[in-house]
Structure 1
């Protein structure tokens, strides 16, 4: 039943993810929040090779983001064994509040100070290694707000708000293959910004 369990992880509502974080032991949660200057992003996924749920935090000090060397720390909590471990640092500033779980990876939008552009990073929940995915044919050099990753119909997608009445939805039709990003334009009579977080 790993497939059904993996599907459950990818379809878990954000409220349940937050509820699970709140149920962690106080010592564990404290590890996520070192100081008021620390910004933490979260991800929740399923490791099918170990039949285990993982909570991932990406934490960085917002005061040093403007410098060339900023450590962003990656910590993983194993639900099965009930402990945290740090898997290292990485050269990105995560911009997505919550990661999107799909195909065994947790995905975030992030900014690479090395390349000076926005990227999609993905953490393999089994081997705990990051990879960078290709970006759709849209501006990836600005810290544009109104961009979010989503999982739609088993595909990774990106929603880009273009105006108050229009958004572009990009879908990666074949996972991990950049040429297969397909663009859909959505127009609405209602104000897109009134929807709040995408």
Structure 2
């Protein structure tokens, strides 16, 4: 039966169940299918289904040992086994970059203090943001970025904090929808950031802050990307000089982590966002739970049954860094921690790089209209080599269609 006799709504429903790589190939089937798959409504429908089913879950690792970084590796991830499949090598659109954050299948990459790219690794598409370094700035300046989804406006945004010498912090937001930067009129409150890493969740960027010079009165500062307003919340645990506190996002919750170096990780979530009384401890990793030297464990995702959490083990030559340094802070292992049994086990995979940073992705067609990522070998290939690559790709596609 010709697909022209199939009701359009049925075709849409069938295609929305398919993985990203299949849909990328089906763009070439016909103009009708191209218009359908690239339609914003279909992209949103497909994304919602991916979120509901955890479809196309992929682990992205960027090699990160301080001297040789930038190579990327992806791992298909369908269950919570102690071993992942072998790595597939991939090329990020920036070399020598770091993973800033990930959201709905998009990964935000940062190089240095001003070069930012939004990347869909499954589609191999990206968009490079225009530089926002003010002209004439040559002395010391501080820059920090965050990335998340503005649900109210259905827009993906990058927030940038910029401070030059002792001048007030300037806030700008880049909109993927409008493709431009906008200066935020709301003034940064009279607060000092306690830790260089922010946490983006629910369309809001969060920092741990304190009054200037008063580190024992820590609070949570939230900036809503839709309203462009700040709000302060209390944290579940009072700060202590023996501990390090951080913010993360885990399983649809804002997460507060208390780390005592070499002793334990205590993890809390805000069960009802914005309600301070809803802070709830969900697990505590103690030294006896893991048979190796204790490090900081960044939570990445829950297993499908919710009984385990996948962790990124951070190695840090200085457990309390003054400022972010990619050469000193990176990961050596991924770990499954069983919440009920209170036991941790490292994921075994010989294709892991020696040190890396991690992003977790789901299947997404976002950024379908972005620029193509071309790996360095292809970028430098001669015309005859390029033709061979094209013929090889055609052969692979034909074999896949025959299977």
> Shorter-normalised TM-score: what interval?
0.7 to 0.9
Instruction: Please tell me whether residue 122 in structure 1 is matched to residue 241 in structure 2.
Output: no
Residue 38, structure 1, aligned to residue 136, structure 2: no
Change (3 A) 1:18 1:24: same
Q: Which residues of 2 match residues 4-23 of structure 1 at below 5 A?
A: 4=48, 11-12=102-103, 16-18=107-109, 21-22=116-117, 23=128
- Bigger RCO (CA 8 Å, 6+ sep): 2
1:52-131 pair list within 5 angstroms: 52-61=155-164, 64=166, 71-88=168-185, 89-90=187-188, 91-113=190-212, 117-131=217-231
Aligned to 2:154: 51
Match of 1:67 in 2: none
1:97 shift after superposition = 3.4
Following superposition, the deviation at residue 178 of structure 1 comes to 1.3
Structure 1 residues 33, 182: CA separation in 2 closer, same or farther (over 3 Å shift)?
Answer: farther
User: Displacement of 1:154 after TM fit?
Assistant: 1.0
Q: What SS is found at the alignment partner of 1:16?
A: strand
Q: CA deviation at 1:96?
A: 4.0
> Which structure would you say has the larger Rg?
2
TM-score by length of 1: 0.75
**Contact 1:156–1:171 (8 Å) recurs in 2:** yes
Contact 1:42 1:55 in 2 (8 A): yes
* 2:271 corresponds to: 173
CA deviation vs aligned residue, 1:125-151 (integer Å, no higher than 9, x gap): 1111111122112227x6x77322111
- Alpha carbons 2:156, 2:176 under 8 Å: kept: yes
What is the deviation of 1:124?
Answer: 1.0
Q: Which structure is higher in strand share?
A: 1
Local SS of the residue matching 2:156: strand
Paired residues of 1:95 and 1:109 also in contact (CA < 8 A): yes
Q: CA RMSD in A?
A: 3.5
Question: CA distance change for structure 1 residues 187 and 119 in 2, over 3 Å: closer, same or farther?
Answer: same
Distance apart, 1:32 and its partner CA: 10
Q: Deviations over 1:41-80 (max 9, x none)?
A: 211122223222111012234x54xxxxx62221111122
Q: Distance in 1 between matches of 2:274 and 2:196?
A: 22
Q: For 1:21 and 1:101, how far apart are their aligned partners in 2?
A: 16
Unaligned runs of 5+ in 2: 1-43, 55-100, 118-127, 297-312, 316-328, 332-403
Judge conservation of contact 1:92–1:110 (CA < 8 Å) in 2: yes
Q: Distance in 1 between matches of 2:295 and 2:197?
A: 20
Could you say what secondary structure the match of 2:157 adopts? Answer: strand
| Secondary structure in structure 2 of the residue aligned to 1:126 | coil
Which residue of 294, 303, 310 corresponds with 1:191?
A: 294
Count of residue pairs brought into register by the alignment: 185
TM-score normalized with structure 2 length:
0.40
